[in-house]
Chains A and B, each alone.
Chain A
Amino acid sequence: LAKTTQPISMDSYEGQEVNITCSHNNIATNDYITWYQQFPSQGPRFIIQGYKTKVTNEVASLFIPADRKSSTLSLPRVSLSDTAVYYCLVGQAGTALIFGKGTTLSVSS
């Protein structure tokens, strides 16, 4: 399984763009990159998934360089409600989802 490394914590202010980068140097050809968000006292929630280049949905964008050894989750104009733990996962279809320690994002006013 490809191991992921991401910052333990990040701080931001409302209205700013937040970029969280995840390193996965030994990602395999068939691995996808997936990000989940977890609020206190709740289970994680899927945010976005990608294989290469850029993926955008109504919540976030995911940037993946050509070598796929890292990925960046971009949250535009964060609000207080974006305060949460963000997890980067790398894996193949049909295998268990393995979560790392995640990045705790704190958004202040």
Chain B
Amino acid sequence: NAGVTQTPKFQVLKTGQSMTLQCAQDMNHNSMYWYRQDPGMGLRLIYYSASEGTTDKGEVPNGYNVSRLNKREFSLRLESAAPSQTSVYFCASTSGSGMGELFFGEGSRLTVL
């Protein structure tokens, strides 16, 4: 009953360091998303992947890269972290069928010093 799993849950980085946020879903969903949440700004889309092998930029892609490794996994990489990337990151997925609602992971809190 895992759903969408994100790792790590918490991370502290120094400016300039790199890291990868991992996301995996076990619901056989086609589409996966990465959002960041900042106070007063809701969730802003960084990148999404409509299906395995495709990725598209969202509203705030600068400073990030993504990889859709397979149908289950969608990773988000910060190549050179900046304090402006301090945020809570959410991964989500959807099958696209029925209502097509997003299923979310628990979130990853990233602090860049």
| A and B interact physically | no
Which positions in A face B, CB cutoff 8 Å?
Answer: none
Which positions in B face A, CB cutoff 8 Å?
Answer: none
